[in-house]
Amino acid sequence: MDGSIGTPVVRRDALAKVTGVAHYAADFPHANTAYAALTLSKVARGRITRLDTASAEAVEGVQMVLTHRSLNEDLGEETFVMKGGHMQSSFLPLTSDEIHYAGQIVSLIIADTQEAAEQAARLVEIDYASETANAALDAPGRKLDPMDESTIEVGDAEAAFAAAPVKIDATYYTPAQHHNPIELYAASVAWVDGKLHVNLPSQWVMGTRAGLAKVFDIPVDDVVVESPYVGGAFGGKASILPHVVLVAMAARRLGRPVKLVVSREAMFTVGSFRPAAESRVRLAATKDGKLTAVMHDEIGQSAAIDHVSFMGMEATSKMYASPNILMHGATVATDVNTPGFMRAPAEAPSFFGFESAMDELAEQLGIDPIELRIMNEPERDPVSGLPWSSRSLVPCFRRGAEIFGWNRRSPEPCSMIASDGALVGYGCATATYPSAMAPSSARVRIAADGSCHVFCAAHDVGTGAYTVLGQVAADVLGIEDSEIRVEMGHSRHPSGPVSGGSITTGSAGSAVHKAALAVRERLFATVAGDQDRTGMTIADRHVVLPDGSRRAIRDILAGLPGGVIEEQADWKPDDMDEKTMRHGLSGGMAFAGPVGSSHVSFSFGAQFAEVRIDPLLRTIKVARMVGVFACGRIINPRTARSNLIGGMIWGASSALLEETQVDRPRARFANTDLASYHIAANADIGEVVCEMLDEDDPVVNAIGAKAVGEVGIVGMPAAIANAIYHATGKRIRRTPIRIEDIL
């Protein structure tokens, strides 16, 4: 059937999106809506000493000016997402006169029009007593806060390193970055009869519902969270941003719906960001290239108001076989808004360093960088000793090398010159991403009128989930995916997981699979009656009996009361207990894996880059990127490819362009718009080739689908840095890599 698992179905939401039919959060019209605007702190640390809202209140149409003086509501207990709650930060603005970071919300204005709200926001007069602050990870005199719980230790790495004949010891730096989804943060909030209705772009409607119910101390059933379409999220929309709570408070107090669309500039501080990170990588090897010690010390930027860390060592410790492994993490508190998830939060920064170091080691050994990785391929996870659920890294490298034409590479740096004089460099790197899983429910309903519905409170954050979940059901039910309507992004649906950590397809997909199987079983049972139903199959809208005779599904349904079969299923990862499942299904964070009791599950990829560098101007062009990935069973090669090449392109953007610059004296982000926060445009990106290897993973989950969404970004920055080294002989250990670095 068209549209079953493995076919490259075109996204089912594409037409709605390109025709404007798709409603994003800010598009939802609540009658009599009032509009909100924000005033942000100009200083990074200190206290408000004077606050005058008279001019703001005098603007025609202004309904309310909320500040720490006027906002004094009792709120229920709710915590930071990294402590088991749902809030993006444990700090809620407008709760005191203290300033913890530049760009902190210091006033929320509500007015009849957007224009009045914005005008008033500019007229709020504030004086500050400001203190010295720091927003940079690498400021002199920094204090390291060690995270002993992140230590990973196998064997005696220090001793092995000291004794090794070949070693690398280098430190790599990646800056703060911001997600910059094209859809701005927004919240449209209405209280109707004491019930809270929230439209916002969300990666986690169930978590948002649970969290808001706690904040406002109302039953979860009195909270509705709606987010059918999301215009880019990347981790930034996976928890409740503080402004959502503030807008909801304002709407309740005003007795009127309120809508806030956060400006691009404010996005940099009212949400989260990818914190700056530093990786010291030490690798030791025998002369013939066997790793004897792998060491990785990571230092991450954290916030004074919240301890946050995204350490990549869980992944880097599993990359290569070594009898000795030692990894440590530490953080540095800075005066910034709470950092958060951003595509491959732990892996993307740390793999830049780790995979650059592998390239440096290969160079020193005089061994081809791909061969070095292959000769250190671990049969099992070198940390836990458990087998992989599947690991096809070596086939990825072999196939990638073939597509890329790696054999045309001459190993010496600066040895390949194009006919136009450009310096040519080839580089490669490993990518990986954990395949964790979360519990999920789903409901599947088929009816005699030919309709088929799938309901799940998961999300399509632009990734293709609407399409992919339909394909999973289509496959089980023997109907075309175009006949299935998938409904997601609404808290009224059966519980779905946070769409983060690349878990949606594997987790929500497994729930849809289970519910569809239950529907199919009931179809079989209806046909069989008292008879044995073994040997029945389903195909082309018919139940097929062992003797080859067929019964149309519609006819079977027409004979049932109501003409409908509907089944809801709760799915959990094998390793998860019932209690944790219940916690997850009620909107709590509940993950299993990537290290289970019997296996370790990661997606893998081999990534390649060709750079061309102008010999005089030193401009860097990524002429080609190749990625070959093994992510278990690919439900839809078209949408999977889009995720993977999106990651590769972002990786190139990260390697060469992206940096949230810190105005150090003022401790604030300096380039808070899309004119000065550079991201890759079409002209920056050359050829992009992506292939997915078939991989049968029978243990990872019910449908064998591993993580796809994030792995594509992970190896790209190192592959590009390695290619730049190959082209120029210059090893740049800091991104973004700029012209001035390779002059």
In the bound state with ligand MOS, the residue whose beta carbon lies nearer, of 46 and 235, is 235
State the binding string over 169-208 for ligand MOS (x if CB under 6 A, else -).
----------------------------------x-----
- For residues 144 and 162, what is the distance between their CA atoms, to the nearest angstrom? 25
CB 528 → ligand MOS: shortest distance, Å?
44
The residue among 544, 569, 566, 568 whose CA lies nearest residue 557 is 566
Give bridge partners of residue 592 from the DSSP assignment.
437
Binding residue (CB under 6 A) for ligand MOS from 242, 300, 345, 489: 345
Shortest separation between residue 542's beta carbon and ligand MOS, angstroms: 40
Residues in 91-120 that interact with ligand MOS by CB under 6 A:
none
Would you say 348 or 370 has its CB closer to ligand MOS?
Answer: 348
Is the separation of the CB atoms in 135 and 275 below 8 Å?
no
What minimum distance in Å lies between the beta carbon of 80 and ligand MOS? Answer: 16
90 or 203, CB closer to ligand MOS? 203
Select the span of 91-99, 300-308, 340-348, 628-636 touching ligand MOS (CB under 6 A).
340-348
Select 53 or 203, whichever has its Cβ closest to ligand MOS.
203
Confirm if 709 and 502 have CB atoms less than 8 A apart.
Answer: yes
Nearer to ligand MOS (CB atom), residue 26 or residue 589: 589
Region of residue 489 (phi > 0: left; psi between -120 and 50: alpha; otherwise: beta): left
State the minimum distance, in angstroms, from the CB of residue 458 to ligand MOS: 13
Name which position in 86, 167, 328, 343 contacts ligand MOS (CB under 6 A).
343
Q: Is 602 in the site for ligand MOS (CB under 6 A)?
A: no
Query: Distance from CA of residue 403 to its chain's centroid?
Result: 28
Shortest reach from residue 591's CB to ligand MOS, in Å: 11
How far are the Cα atoms of 165, 309, 659 from residue 278, in angstroms, in the given order?
26, 12, 14
Tokens (6 digits) for 40: 């942000």
Q: Which residues of 26-44 are buried (b: 16+ CB within 10 A; e: fewer)?
A: bebebeebbbbbbbbbebb
Tell me which residue of 178, 183, 185, 179 sits closest to 231, measured CA to CA: 183
Number of H helices, E strands in the chain: 18, 28
Distance separating alpha carbons of residues 259 and 187, to the nearest angstrom: 6
Give the nearest distance from C-beta 24 to ligand MOS in angstroms: 18
Least Å distance between CB 666 and ligand MOS? 28
- Count of residues in contact with ligand MOS, rule CB under 6 A: 10
- Inter-residue contact 466 to 13 (CB < 8 Å): yes
* 593 forms part of the interface with ligand MOS (CB under 6 A): no
> Please, which of residues 237-276 interact with ligand MOS by CB under 6 A?
238
Q: Is the dihedral of CA 514, 520, 525, 528 positive or negative?
A: negative
- Supply the minimum distance, in Å, between the C-beta of residue 477 and ligand MOS: 30
- The residues in 496-515 that bind ligand MOS, with binding defined as CB under 6 A, are 500-501
Q: Find the shortest distance in angstroms from Cβ 482 to ligand MOS.
A: 29
Q: Per CB under 6 A, which region of 17-25, 336-344, 445-453, 522-530 contacts ligand MOS?
A: 336-344
| Torsion angle (degrees, nearest 10) of CA 640, 641, 643, 645 | 160
Closest residue to ligand MOS, Cβ-based? 235
C-alpha distances out from residue 594 to 1, 229, 390, 510, Å: 33, 29, 12, 16
- Which of 15-23, 230-238, 414-422, 721-729 is the region at the interface with ligand MOS (rule: CB under 6 A)? 230-238
Kindly report whether the peptide bond that precedes residue 411 is cis, defined as omega within 30 degrees of 0: no
Name which of 343 and 493 has its Cβ closer to ligand MOS.
Answer: 343
CA 651, CA 685: separation in Å to the nearest integer? 11
Query: In angstroms, what is the minimal distance from the CB of 197 to ligand MOS?
Result: 24
235 forms part of the interface with ligand MOS (CB under 6 A): yes
Among 80, 161, 341, 602, binds ligand MOS (CB under 6 A): 341
**Interface positions with ligand MOS (CB under 6 A):** 203, 234-235, 238, 341-343, 345, 500-501
